[in-house]
Amino acid sequence: MTIDLHMHSTASDGTLSPTELMRFAAECGCNTVALTDHDTAAGVSEARSEAHRLGIRFIAGIEVSSLWGGRSIHVVGLGIDDTNPVLTRKVREFEVSRTRRAAQIAEKLAALGIPGMLEKATAFAENKLNASRVHFALALLEAGAVKNQQEAFDRYLGDGKPAYIMAPWPTVAEAVDLIHTAGGIAVMAHPGRYHFKNDWTVDELMKDFAAAGGEAVEVISGSQQPDFTPRCLAWAREYKLLVSTGSDFHSKTGTRPMPGTQGQLPAGYTSVLSKLTN
Ligand code: AMP
Ligand code: MN
Ligand code: MN
Ligand code: MN
């Protein structure tokens, strides 16, 4: 069994449509997949139809942007009801936040001498209601302001950089509640990617996440180093968390692993899949 419980489509900052993503994941050998777009479940219904046509198990998901300790933390929800009215209402709020933030990022870039980025970034976003910093990175690249996407984040868009805007995301606890309200299981996404100043801060994050009712942790992720897995497994034991794995796939040309190639779950731990019914 090859599983991948964290992937993005054009409903957020991925480059494949939900249908194309499911086809590619199946080609890559996945037989259990989740679609986890940032702050939206807009691609879920299309992806589910295609996954079922292909005969692979599909988990409806979302990756909720949240804030903790002044940093942006991602909480994945798996097994959500993508039609849940509370979730739908929240997604509308996230869309408003993203749209406002995009205008503010563009203003900051203009003040830094790079005008016209709102139109360019929006043009890269297939889902106009889900403008991402990745779309700004693509716009900066096209404008010749940076040599690659990473430079766009390092010089302008990354947390705390000159064109960074902190969006009014929910707290980690609120993100967990939202996922539960939508019938899903809350998974701490790629804890190895949050490079806090002090190494122990991520321990505090995991403690708060578990206290808020978070049930699972990505012990393997295309967005964290493989040598971070033992720490994740220690949290899984300490807080009795379920374990998950995902490539965090965004595009065929990206730096992250292809669907299902990120490494599978170790034996001796309870997979998040065991608590998912679909
Ligand atoms: P957003 O959801 O619009 O705030 O954008 C976050 C997305 O930007 C993440 O999901 C990553 O795909 C990408 N990203 C964030 N930080 C970086 C970084 N330092 N370098 C490259 N990509 C990043
Ligand atoms: Mn992303
Ligand atoms: Mn993430
Ligand atoms: Mn992701």
Distance (Å, whole) CA 28 – CA 8: 15
- How far out from the chain centre does Cα 271 lie? 19
- For atom 16 of ligand 1, the residue with the nearest CA is 158
Binned at pLDDT 50, 70 and 90, residue 208 comes out as very high
Query: Ligand 1 within 6 A of 132 CB?
Result: yes
Judge if the beta carbon of residue 148 lies within 6 A of ligand 1.
no
Per-residue model confidence as pLDDT tens digits over 66-77: 999 989 999 999
Strands (E), the chain: 3-4, 32-35, 57-68, 71-78, 185-188, 216-221, 242-246
113 CA distance to ligand 4 middle (Å): 30
172-176: long-range pairs with CB below 8 Å, 24+: 172/66, 172/67, 172/68, 172/73, 172/75, 172/205, 172/208, 172/209, 172/212, 172/214, 173/208, 173/212, 174/66, 175/64, 175/65, 175/66, 175/75, 176/75, 176/209, 176/212, 176/213, 176/214
How many A from CA of 90 to the centre of ligand 3? 18
Give 201's pLDDT tier (boundaries 50, 70, 90). Answer: very high
Provide, rounded to the nearest whole percent, the portion of the chain with pLDDT above 70: 100
133 lines ligand 1 (CB under 6 A): yes
Confidence of residue 195 (pLDDT cuts 50, 70, 90): confident
DSSP code per residue over 171-225: BHHHHHHHHHHTT-EEEE--GGG---SSTTHHHHHHHHHHHTT--EEEEEETTS-
**Predicted confidence (pLDDT) per residue in 125-159, tens digit:** 999 999 999 999 999 999 999 999 999 999 999 99
Confidence band, pLDDT 50/70/90 cuts, at residue 278: confident
Instruction: Please say if the pLDDT value at position 256 is more than 90.
Output: yes
pLDDT of residue 205: 98
User: Does ligand 1 lie within 6 Å of residue 254's CB atom?
Assistant: no
Between 140 and 1, the more confident residue is 140
Q: What is the Cα–Cα distance from 170 to 39, expressed in whole angstroms? A: 11
Tens-digit pLDDT profile for residues 81-127:
999 999 999 999 999 999 999 999 999 999 999 999 999 999 999 99
Residue nearest to atom 2 of ligand 1 (CA): 132
Whole-model pTM: value is: 0.97
